[in-house]
A and B are shown apart, each in its own frame.
Chain A
């Protein structure tokens, strides 16, 4: 379906934390919306299986990086919303630095213009 190859399993697992934290840093969200957003952002290259998302969210919640609350949406349907905590914002900063370090190293090797950290 997609011309570009899908991400490997290991990369999907490793990138789930910074992706989730970054999405939630932009505002609260719920599982279905998060998956749609990731699909949209990556142009279909990152395809999260729906069942895999919740255990990851719950782990982040146990680690105190995000919090959750059942809330009624505009449609009248109740959903569990997740939002980032202050610890989560700190963790996101670290993640950002680390991912950009990897990114920039690869950019230099591949002779692409790196981004400023």
Chain B
């Protein structure tokens, strides 16, 4: 077949006509996905891209060639972001604080969840042992397991560390991609995290007050302050969140 000898680019050219505006639109969206690029920066880069395209067109290149060459000239969106970050180092620190807070909050949430699950299991084991007169050694072990032990808390961190390691090695691929959506805007992050925090605060706080409030109010208050720690982390994350400006820049 004659078609087989054709280059893929030629086949594409024959099959679909290149839409310059759509290509620029795609490029703009790609740029918009880069945090740390203000809308003004993106608008400026877009005028540059359009100037470069016009420059190549004047030299007799077609739309598609002009677009790809101009795109190459302007640079890859993530490289652009790196260049902008280099010239604005405070942005880098904001990002570092942001990630530090994210990790602290993740670890805190994970230890809370795991100790909750542990005490739930312990409660169930105790319930079965006493009400059903079971003598299963597993249940006995479970009912005696020290759920608040420091060792257990650190042991429960192993999965988090494991996931971090796999992510850093690139072994998990796109499986955790959905997490990025939570961090795509300040509003979305607060919309997810604040209700979770409120439920946590009310549940644990009320249990704590009922348990420790009467005999020892100062301890209960100290514990309540400790419960506010995730709220501080949430505030730090929202404050330092890298902005992804979704607003479309003005047409140049």
Write the residues of chain A forming the contact surface with B, with a CB cutoff of 8 angstroms: 30-32, 36, 49-52, 54-56, 58-59, 77-80
Which single member of A49, A58, A78, A79 contacts B87 (CB below 8 Å)? A58
Question: Could you say which residues of chain B place their CB within 8 Å of the CB of A58?
Answer: 41, 84, 87-88
CB pair B75 A49 closer than 8 Å: yes
- Distance, CA A101 to CA B228, complexed state (A): 61
- Give every chain A residue within 8 A of B47 (Cβ-Cβ): 30-32, 77-80
The reply to whether the CB of B83 lies closer than 8 angstroms to some CB of chain A is yes
Query: Which residues of A have CB within 8 Å of B51?
Result: 30-32, 79
List of A residues within 8 angstroms of B88 by Cβ: 55, 58
Inter-chain CA distance A12–B80, complex, in Å, is 17
Pairs A–B under 8 Å by Cβ, sample size 9: A32-B55, A50-B73, A51-B80, A54-B83, A54-B84, A55-B88, A79-B47, A79-B252, A80-B40
B44 contacts the other chain (CB 8 A): yes
- The proximity string for B residues 239-252 relative to A, scoring 1 for CB distances below 8 Å and 0 otherwise, is 00000000000101
> From DSSP, what is the main secondary structure of chain A's interface residues?
helix
Inter-chain CA distance A54–B43, complex, in Å, is 12
Question: In the docked arrangement, what's the CA distance between A34 and B198, Å?
Answer: 54
B28 at the interface (CB under 8 A from A): no
Question: A80 contacts B73, CB within 8 Å?
Answer: no
Name which residue of chain A comes closest to B87, CB basis: A55
- Known contacts A78-B47, A79-B252; decide if A51 and B52 are in contact (CB<8 Å): no
Is B86 in contact with chain A by the CB < 8 A criterion? Answer: yes
CB-CB nearest in chain B for A80: B44
| Number of chain B residues whose Cβ lies closer than 8 Å to a Cβ of chain A | 23
**Contact at B86–A55, with CB atoms within 8 Å?**
yes
- Contact pick for A50, options B41, B48, B50, B84, CB 8 Å: B48
The answer to whether residues A32 and B52 also contact, given A54-B84, A55-B87 and a CB cut-off of 8 A, is yes
From residue A70, how far is it (CB to closest CB) to chain B in Å? 8
* C-alpha gap A52/B88 in the complex (Å): 13
The smallest C-beta distance from B216 to any residue of chain A, in angstroms, reads 55
CA distance A50 to B41 in the complex (A): 13
Is B75 touching A77 in the complex (CB atoms < 8 A)?
no
> Is B105 part of the contact surface with A, judged by Cβ < 8 Å?
no
Q: Is the CB of B83 within 8 A of A31?
A: no
Closest to A58 in B: B87
The answer on a CB contact under 8 Å between A54 and B45 is: yes
CA distance A13 to B227 in the complex (A): 50
B50 & A77 in contact (Cβ 8 Å cutoff): yes
In the complex, what's the smallest C-beta–C-beta distance from A80 to chain B, in angstroms?
A: 5
User: Does A55 lie within 8 Å of B84, measured CB to CB?
Assistant: yes
Q: CA–CA, A56 to B88, complex, Å?
A: 10
Contact flags B69-90 to A (C-beta < 8 A → 1, else 0): 0000111000110011011100
Nearest neighbor of B45 in chain A, beta-carbon distance: A54
Would A56 and B87 count as touching, CB distance under 8 A? yes
Nearest-neighbor residue (CB-CB) of A59 within chain B: B87
- A33–B52 Cα distance when bound, in Å, is 10
Residues of B within 8 A of A79 (CB): 47, 51, 252
Listed residue (B87, B88, B250) with the most chain A CB atoms within 10 angstroms of its CB:
B87
Assembled-state Cα–Cα distance A58/B41 (Å):
9
Leading 8 A-B pairs by shortest Cβ distance: A55-B87, A51-B75, A32-B51, A51-B80, A50-B74, A80-B44, A59-B87, A55-B83
Contact A31 B48 (CB under 8 A): yes
* Complex-state Cα separation, A26 to B186, whole angstroms: 44
B33-68 interface (Cβ within 8 A of A)? 40-41, 43-45, 47-48, 50-52, 55
